[in-house]
Amino acid sequence: MGGAGALLFLSILGAFVCARARVPIGAVIFSLIGLAIFVATPAGDGIPDAVADFFSTVDEMSSPALTDTEPAEAGTGAVG
């Protein structure tokens, strides 16, 4: 995969040219192509796992706030 660096450079350059020419869909497509090439390289090999771990952590932290009802002791008037 010796040409991956050149392909990454060309995709970044293409995204920059599209952004300067105010063609947002072209910039997005070039950015997605560059991301796919980067993930295919050894340097970007761990990105899918890192993203999955991040979303798993966010899900674990937000699920109780979104699904649980109020605790049973809330609103009973008991103090202390």
Say if residue 12's pLDDT is above 70.
yes
- Predicted TM-score of the model (pTM): 0.61
16-44 pLDDT, tens digit each: 999 999 999 999 999 999 988 888 888 88
Task: Name the residue ranges covered by the structural domains of the chain.
Answer: 4-62
Give the tokens for residue 66.
């979104």
Half-sphere exposure (Cβ direction) of 56: Cα atoms closer than 13 Å: 6
Q: What is the pLDDT at residue 13?
A: 93
Say if residue 79's pLDDT is above 80.
no
Name the maximum alpha-carbon separation found in the chain.
70
Q: What is the pLDDT at residue 4?
A: 81
Confidence of residue 71 (pLDDT cuts 50, 70, 90): very low
Give the tokens for residue 54.
């991040």
Beta-carbon contacts of residue 1 (< 8 Å; ≥ 6 apart):
40, 41
